[in-house]
Amino acid sequence: MHIILFDGECNVCDSSVQFILKRDQEGVFSFASLQSEAGKYLLEKYNIPRNTDSMVLVKENNDVKIKSNAVLDICRNLPFPWKLLYSLSIVPSSFRDKTYDWFSSNRFKWFGKKQQCKLPTPAERQRFIESVEDIK
């Protein structure tokens, strides 16, 4: 199981999680907000700064991807045509991450903060990790 850490206060991040849930029919991904107990634990475990507001992918082999590398690796695990976006990994990560950072720094201005999230279905709820016990 791969775990996607996301900013639980971000409209874009929440929409991204909803997008992935809808397309990840095989259940490859689980989700934890950066603000949750599980999110904070994983940030600490993998030495990722606590002030990270980037999307983070913790793969089942303990490989960790952040920013554009996380997004592209997530796309690689989604069905066609979304997996084709992984081909953008040929673009140098320094350029991709600058673009990611620019978008990230403007996301609240453009899309606002989340006041409340969509309630997940019971099946979706099983894919969200809140506590450290859910990881172990």
- One-letter amino acid of 132: V
Q: What is the structure's pLDDT at 118?
A: 66
pTM: 0.90
| Residues 92, 102: Cα–Cα separation, whole Å | 16
| pLDDT tens, residue by residue, 70-127 | 999 999 999 999 999 999 999 999 999 999 999 988 887 887 776 666 667 788 888 9
| Per-domain residue ranges of the chain | 2-134
Q: What is the structure's pLDDT at 124?
A: 82
